[in-house]
Structure 1
Amino acid sequence: MDNNRKLSFDEQVEWLEDHNVNIKDVDRCKYYLKQKNYFYKLIGYVKRFNGDDKKIIDSFEKLIDISTLDMELRYCLLPLCLDIEHWIKTYILRIVTNDPNEDGYNIVNQVINSDTNPEDFKRKLFSSVSYYDMNQEFVIQPEYDGFYHNPPIWIILEISSIGKLRSFIKYMSKQRPGNKDLFQINNSIKYINKLRNSCAHNREILTEDIYSNYNSRIPHNIYTSLRNDNFSKAQLYKSLFLKITLTLKLHKRLCSNETHLHRIMELQEWIKRTQRFQEFYRTDDIFTIFFSDVKNIVNTYK
């Protein structure tokens, strides 16, 4: 069946059955698709985990549970990423404030001018407070327009998410090679930013690679550090595992004990939640293995 077109609810049910998803109660399935979760989001799990030689999501009940667990895990992970983002901004500003040779403008000019396309990079920094008008002219919101020509770091921090701070962290870590916090942030920020964006934009994350993929590349210092934390090679080559591990490890290092403990408790509740419908998961099920992986991460960095 062609799923590149709009499908009726009857056709959606038929598509699921054609892809090895057993539906015991068709009326309940249709109600769920109409009222609870939309078909075009759910099929991402089916396409990822079902095929001619595999049938991991073998029932509609399991599909619903995986979708719910995915959503609840994102709700746990996003606050971790936002905590780190807030701490990094505070940390950057503290370093700048304590540096008698830094006025808050120089660091921004240095980072912008080191880019291969400084003007384009500056526009990206201001993208959250700007737009292109009908004549394709770049327009900045009035309250920020006066800062565009020579922006200070406190304005950049105000308008930037964690992804836009990567160049600043890289610059600062080079300027301060002995700073272990900056070193770890610089190593981890790319992975944390990807996880943050997936969670913030409500993208499924359990459809990411939770299988080991040895063709992927892991920087040596990250690999060595996490192997020293007793994670296996197979675990580290799972994309989602790596992102969650680096996020929780950095959160423990940077954030207060009280904040970290609160986030740990939220993840522990999610781990308990994975046990609600144990009958859906075999001991060798890819999701069961991943749930155990997350428990391992939490126990390591609690």
Structure 2
Amino acid sequence: MKKILTIDELITHMKKKGIKFEKVSEKEAKEFLSHHNYYLKLSSYRFNYPKVGIGNNHEGEYQNLDFGYLKELSTIDMHLRYLIMEMCLDIEHAIKVQLIDKVSQNQEEDGYNIVKLYLKEEDPSFNILRNVHRHKSGEYCKDLIDKYYPFFPIWVLVELISFGDLIHLCAFYDKKYNTKILLKNKFMNTIRDLRNAVAHSNCLMNKMTEQMEDSKQPDSILTTYIKNITSIKKRRRAKYMNRTFSYNIVTLLYVYDHYMPQYAKKKRYEELSEFMHNRVIRHKDYFISNGKIKGLYKFLVDVIDNLSSKE
């Protein structure tokens, strides 16, 4: 079991790993670790940097890695999480609207029947109801729960369930009535995972250059989506669509493009483009020698700029 280290001990540990304190002094690093971030999270961004190879005097140390680079990556990641959360919430709202619209136009439905069918056929142990009931003491849900529990109409239930349960409910409705509210399961699962990750403030960019697992392949729908961007040639497309981080961002953009109206997409893509062209490169000199990060950045900029330029 590893013992907990003081901040001074953590600084010493990082220096032994080859992490420099030139862009950010040791004093500033201690302040940052004391009040703004913690070592486990901050240090995870080191995986974007290579280590010195075997046989070298500095074997096992990180190459050209400064504490300032880790700090900057963690800050960019924070801003990115906020943007992704807003996009995921937009998608979630759009799916709720589509589901309720489908139900309201379905002559076989009254809004209560679909919930009864779902609980009986797909959730016989009524885990959803138990999860909803746990929120009864919450300030924002208790009135709805008190009024309707356990016989919820669809337009109330969607306000009380998780995004994962919403996806499952929509999949049930699609199958029951041969509709098409949801895109492919794996696309929606990616959005769910991203939403959960940003909601729990998990790192997104700590392994952004990591390759996909050999057992996974980019979906042809998404590769075609990127293929239509003329500035991204085949070799570059294949390279970055095989990296988990960039592939997941492309998935988010594709799903967002599908669900959101044009005016909302235009505003969001312009916001993303501004973020990429300004905040992300505020300290671009920090990453000038890291070809993997630079290449990934250029790929995502081309994707986002293409979307933001559409009328």
Q: TM-score range by the shorter chain?
A: 0.7 to 0.9
Alpha-carbon contact 2:210-2:245 (below 8 Å) kept: no
CA offsets per residue over residues 171-192 of structure 1, 9 Å max, x none?
A: 222245463xx24265522111
Shift of 1:301: 3.2
For residues 186 and 42 of structure 2, the distance between their equivalents in structure 1, rounded to whole angstroms, comes to 33
Q: Quickly say closer, same or farther: Cα 1:108–1:250, change in 2 above 3 A.
A: same
Bigger Cα displacement from structure 2, 261-270 vs 147-156: 147-156
Residue aligning to 1:136: none
Residue aligning to 1:277: 283
SS in 2 for 1:159: coil
Residue aligning to 2:267: 262
For residues 178 and 150 of structure 1, the distance between their equivalents in structure 2, rounded to whole angstroms, comes to 24
Shift of 1:286: 2.6
Shift of 1:208: 4.3
Shift of 1:285: 2.8
For residues 210 and 124 of structure 1, the distance between their equivalents in structure 2, rounded to whole angstroms, comes to 37
Match of 1:109 among 116, 124, 127: 116
Q: Does 1:243 align with 2:248?
A: yes
Alpha-carbon contact 2:273-2:305 (below 8 Å) kept: no
Q: Tell me the TM-score normalized by structure 1.
A: 0.83
For residues 171 and 129 of structure 1, the distance between their equivalents in structure 2, rounded to whole angstroms, comes to 26
Q: Does 1:217 align with 2:224?
A: no
Alpha-carbon contact 2:8-2:30 (below 8 Å) kept: yes
Q: Quickly say closer, same or farther: Cα 1:37–1:187, change in 2 above 3 A.
A: closer
Match of 1:93 among 88, 100, 103: 100
Shift of 1:126: 4.5
Match of 2:21 among 20, 23, 40: 23
For residues 126 and 149 of structure 2, the distance between their equivalents in structure 1, rounded to whole angstroms, comes to 11
Q: Does 1:36 align with 2:36?
A: yes
- Structure 2 counterpart of 1:97, which letter? S
Match of 2:224 among 221, 225, 228: 228
Alpha-carbon contact 1:283-1:289 (below 8 Å) kept: no
SS in 1 for 2:226: coil
Q: Quickly say closer, same or farther: Cα 1:227–1:200, change in 2 above 3 A.
A: same
| Number of residue equivalences | 287
Q: Which runs of 5+ in 2 are unaligned?
A: 54-60, 228-236
Shift of 1:114: 2.7
SS in 2 for 1:55: coil
Shift of 1:158: 1.1
SS in 2 for 1:88: helix
Q: Tell me the TM-score normalized by structure 2.
A: 0.81
Shift of 1:52: 5.7
Structure 1 residues 199-210: aligned runs within 5 Å = 199-208=198-207, 210=209
Q: Quickly say closer, same or farther: Cα 1:284–1:208, change in 2 above 3 A.
A: closer
CA offsets per residue over residues 225-279 of structure 1, 9 Å max, x none?
A: 1121235333233222222212212222221222212211221122112222222
Alpha-carbon contact 1:85-1:161 (below 8 Å) kept: no
For residues 17 and 284 of structure 1, the distance between their equivalents in structure 2, rounded to whole angstroms, comes to 20
Match of 2:71 among 60, 64, 67: 64
Shift of 1:56: 5.8
Alpha-carbon contact 1:19-1:51 (below 8 Å) kept: no
Q: Quickly say closer, same or farther: Cα 1:96–1:217, change in 2 above 3 A.
A: same
Q: Which runs of 5+ in 1 are unaligned?
A: 132-139
Shift of 1:209: 5.0
Q: Quickly say closer, same or farther: Cα 1:33–1:216, change in 2 above 3 A.
A: same
